[in-house]
């Protein structure tokens, strides 16, 4: 069995190849050619945490895998990631364990790559002002991913802790070679932005309709069982896209409060979800209809994305002779 650690996974996972691989995987999922059941989890109430399992089979890449991922939000107070994961890949012919990979890096990179794919499909071609809401690992990964698919010339960054926003803005400015400006509030960051990346653990919405510029494209990847990132008015006005209708509307721990709550309150119906990513990729559903339209990609994370990333990493590792081979028996 091939074993790959975090630094090896990061080295082997090409972001541009991943965006293309996700397009294929999402089209497979929407067409029924790939299978990924709803996420299930055990709760760790004393830490406000959970441990979830996310299996998937993507025949087009020969990938049969499962991810074990923990979400411990209190880790944000420490140096530990809030999300930590392992991925086990199996031989789809025999069911034999074939590879064990660090899944934390894959989770980080594939989540942002999914947002980048939605941006390619839904954002205006000239979108160039990016507002990033959040100061964690997903804020970093979204800055890099969205800058790959649109001509970003201005980046604003806001978070719950202004000091963290300043520190991260300085770090990203140095790494990107362009200024990333900290904002004093989410509202200030959103003012005039045509790309929005929300990646928070918020209770109250950080994206509000009155703060949005016409034509903005929003990617929302934050998850909090007790909260939501997007307000009712934005959801109601937006053209909404998800990875999977079934998963987005499933109960906790799979679905999205951002959609389930306004449905529960009678503000929208399930039919308000316009498209799945895979339908946009395949062209079976249209995308943006006007320059002024608000578009929203609400991500909950689906395992076919992890499978697509794992397939790329494993193939690159075997080609380059990277990783350690171990025998389980």
Tell me the per-residue pLDDT of 232-262, one tens digit each, with 9 for 90 and over.
999 999 999 999 999 999 999 999 999 999 9
Is 202 in contact with 179 (CB distance < 8 Å)? no
The fold of 2-107+304-325 is ornithine cyclodeaminase, domain 1 (3.30.1780)
Is 309 in contact with 13 (CB distance < 8 Å)? yes
Taking the C-alpha atoms of residue 118 and residue 122, their distance in angstroms, rounded to an integer, is 6
pLDDT band at 28 (very low <50, low <70, confident <90, very high): very high
User: Which is the CATH superfamily of the domain at 123-302?
Assistant: NAD(P)-binding Rossmann-like Domain (3.40.50.720)
Domain 123-302 in the same topology as domain 2-107+304-325: no
Residue ranges of alpha helices (H) inside the chain are 6-12, 15-31, 104-122, 137-146, 162-176, 186-190, 232-237, 245-248, 257-264, 277-282, 303-320
pLDDT in tens, 86-109: 999 999 999 999 999 999 999 999
Q: Domain extents for the chain?
A: 2-107+304-325, 123-302
- φ/ψ of 326, rounded to 5, equals -125, 160
The structure's pTM equals 0.96
Taking the C-alpha atoms of residue 224 and residue 218, their distance in angstroms, rounded to an integer, is 18
* Residue 108, both tokens: 């980080």
H or E stretch covering 182: strand 180-182
Residue 246 CB partners (closer than 8 Å, separation 6+): 38
pLDDT band at 50 (very low <50, low <70, confident <90, very high): very high
Taking the C-alpha atoms of residue 265 and residue 251, their distance in angstroms, rounded to an integer, is 15
Q: Give percent of the chain with pLDDT exceeding 90.
A: 93
């Amino acid at each position: 069995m091939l074993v790959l650690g975090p630094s090896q996974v990061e080295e082997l996972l090409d972001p541009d190849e991943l965006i293309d691989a996700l397009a294929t995987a999402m089209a497979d999922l929407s067409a029924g050619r790939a299978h990924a059941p709803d996420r299930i989890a055990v709760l760790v109430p004393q830490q406000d945490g959970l441990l979830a399992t996310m299996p998937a089979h993507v025949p087009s890449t020969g990938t049969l895998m499962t991810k074990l991922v923990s979400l411990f939000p209190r880790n944000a107070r420490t140096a530990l990631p809030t999300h930590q994961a392992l991925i086990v890949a199996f031989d789809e012919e025999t069911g034999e364990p074939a590879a064990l990979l660090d899944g934390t890096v894959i989770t980080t990179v594939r989540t942002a790559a999914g947002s980048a794919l939605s941006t390619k499909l839904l954002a205006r071609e000239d979108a160039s002002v990016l507002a990033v809401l959040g100061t964690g690992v997903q804020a970093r990964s979204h800055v890099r991913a969205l800058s790959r698919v649109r001509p970003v010339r201005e980046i604003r960054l806001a978070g719950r802790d202004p000091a963290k926003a300043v520190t991260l803005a300085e770090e990203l400015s140095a790494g990107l070679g362009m200024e990333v400006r900290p904002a004093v509030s989410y509202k200030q960051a959103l003012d005039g932005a045509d790309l929005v990346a929300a990646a928070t653990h918020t209770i109250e919405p950080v994206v509000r309709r009155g703060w949005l510029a016409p034509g903005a494209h929003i990617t929302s990847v934050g998850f909090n069982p007790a909260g939501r990132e997007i307000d009712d008015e934005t959801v109601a006005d937006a053209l909404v896209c998800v990875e999977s209708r079934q998963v987005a509307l499933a109960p906790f721990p799979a679905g999205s409060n951002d959609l389930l709550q306004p449905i529960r309150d009678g503000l929208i119906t399930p039919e308000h979800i316009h498209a799945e990513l895979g339908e946009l990729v395949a062209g079976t559903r249209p995308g943006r209809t006007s320059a002024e339209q608000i578009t929203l990609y609400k991500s909950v994370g689906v395992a076919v994305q992890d499978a697509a990333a794992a397939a790329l990493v494993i193939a690159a590792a075997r080609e380059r002779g990277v990783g350690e081979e171990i025998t389980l028996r």
